[in-house]
Chain A
Amino acid sequence: MIFQTPIMALLLVSGLAGLVALWSAWFGLRVLRRWNLADGSREQLEMERQTHLISTLFGFVMLAEALALLLFVYNADRMANLFVGAMCAVGTLNVNEYGFPALYLKVATFFAAAVWLIVDRADRAGRDYPLTRVKYAGIILLAPLILAGGAVELTYFAGLETDVITSCCSKLFTPANEGLSSEVTGLPPALALWLLGGSGLAVALSGAASLWWGRGQMLFAVSGVVLFFVALAAIISIISLYVYDHPNHHCPFCLLQPEHGYYGYVLYLPLFFGTALALGAGVLQVFVGRPSLRDILPARIRKLIGLSMVAFGLFGLATIWAIVSSQLIVFG
Chain B
Amino acid sequence: MITLSAVTKLYNEGRPNQMAALDGIDLTVPGDAVTVLTGPSGSGKTTLLSLIGCMARPTSGRVHLNGDMVSGLPESFLTGLRRTTFGFVFQRFNLVRGLSVIENVRLPAVPLGPDHVELTERAMARLEHLGLADKADIPVEYLSGGETQRAAIARALINDAPILIADEPTANLDTVLVNRFLDIVADLRAEGRTVIMTSHDPRIFTASLVDNVVRMVDGRLDTEEAPA
A interface residue numbers (CB < 8 A to B):
37, 40-42, 44-45, 48-49, 52, 124, 127-129
Contacts and interface: CB of A to CB of B under 8 A. Distances in A.
A169 B77 CA distance: 54
Nearest to B10: A42
B76 A42 contact: no
B74 A40 contact: no
B60 interface: yes
A124 to B, nearest CB: 6
A45 B74 contact: no
Contact of A45 (B5, B72, B77): B72
Given A45-B57, A45-B58, A40 B75 contact: no
A52 B61 CA distance: 19
Contacts of A124: 74, 76
Given A52-B75, A129-B74, A42 B59 contact: yes
B75 A37 contact: no
Interface string B47-61: 000000000011111
Nearest to B7: A40
A49 B57 contact: yes
Contacts of A41: 60
B64 to A, nearest CB: 10
Given A45-B72, A124-B74, 17 more contacts: A37-B72, A40-B5, A40-B6, A40-B7, A40-B60, A40-B61, A40-B62, A42-B60, A45-B57, A45-B59, A45-B71, A52-B74, A52-B75, A124-B76, A127-B74, A127-B77, A129-B74
B72 A48 contact: yes
Interface in B61-99: 61-62, 69, 71-77
26 contacts: A37-B69, A37-B72, A40-B5, A40-B6, A40-B7, A40-B58, A40-B60, A40-B61, A40-B62, A41-B60, A42-B59, A42-B60, A45-B57, A45-B58, A45-B59, A45-B60, A45-B71, A48-B72, A49-B57, A52-B74, A52-B75, A124-B76, A127-B73, A127-B77, A128-B69, A129-B74
Interface centre among B5, B6, B8, B74 (most CB of A within 10 A): B74
Nearest to A47: B72
Contacts, number: 32
A1 B57 CA distance: 52
Interface residues of B, number: 18
Contacts of B5: 40
Contacts of A45: 57-60, 71-72
Nearest to B5: A40
B58 to A, nearest CB: 7
A37 B71 CA distance: 11
Contacts of A128: 69
Interface in B103-128: none
Nearest to A126: B74
A49 B59 CA distance: 10
Contacts of A52: 74-75
A59 to B, nearest CB: 14
A40 B24 CA distance: 11
Nearest to B61: A40
A95 B69 CA distance: 58
A130 to B, nearest CB: 10
A129 B60 CA distance: 18
A49 B60 CA distance: 12
Nearest to B76: A124
B13 to A, nearest CB: 9
Nearest to A129: B74
Contacts of B57: 45, 49
Nearest 6 Cβ contacts at the A-B interface? A40-B62, A42-B60, A40-B61, A48-B72, A127-B77, A41-B60
A48 B69 CA distance: 13
Contacts of A49: 57
Nearest to A39: B62
A133 B60 CA distance: 21
A52 B7 CA distance: 22
B60 to A, nearest CB: 4
A42 B62 CA distance: 10
Contacts of B62: 40
Interface centre among B7, B57, B62, B73 (most CB of A within 10 A): B62
Contacts of A127: 73-74, 77
